[in-house]
Amino acid sequence: MVKQQSLERATALFQPLGFKIVIWTRYLGGHIGDEAACTEWIESKADGWAKGVRALATMARSSPQCAFSGLQKSLQSEWMHLQRSIGDIGPAFAPVEDAISTHFLPALIGKDPDTPTPPDLRQLLSLPVKFAGIGVTDPTASADNHHHTSTDCTSLLTKSLLGQTAFSLTDHKSTMRQGRSAAKLASLSRSNSSLTILTTDMPRLRLRKVMRNKETGAWLNIIPTVVNGMSLSTTPAKAIAKQERTKKQQYLESCLE
Q: Which residues pair with 33 in a beta bridge?
A: 24
Of residues 31 and 201, the one with the higher pLDDT is 201
CA distance 107 to 193: 28
Angle in degrees, CA 45, 41, 27, rounded to 5? 95
DSSP 8-state secondary structure symbol assigned to residue 206? H
φ, ψ of residue 231 to 5 degrees: the values are -75, 130
**Rounded to whole angstroms, what are the CA distances from 29 to 25, 42, 45, 76?**
10, 11, 12, 15
Q: What is the pLDDT of residue 114?
A: 67
Percent helix, percent strand, percent coil in the chain, to nearest 5: 70, 5, 25
Domain residue ranges of the chain, discontinuous segments joined by +: 1-33, 34-222
Angle in degrees, CA 243, 244, 249, rounded to 5? 100
CA distance 75 to 188: 23
Does position 223 have pLDDT exceeding 80, yes or no? no
pLDDT digits (tens, 9 = 90+) for 78-135: 999 999 999 899 999 999 999 999 999 999 988 877 678 899 999 999 999 999 999 9
pLDDT digits (tens, 9 = 90+) for 124-174: 999 999 999 999 999 999 999 999 999 999 999 999 999 999 999 999 999
Q: CA-CA-CA-CA torsion for 164, 168, 170, 171, nearest 10 degrees?
A: -10
Of residues 224 and 167, the one with the higher pLDDT is 167
Does position 249 have pLDDT exceeding 80, yes or no? no
The reported pTM is 0.80
φ, ψ of residue 20 to 5 degrees: the values are -95, 120
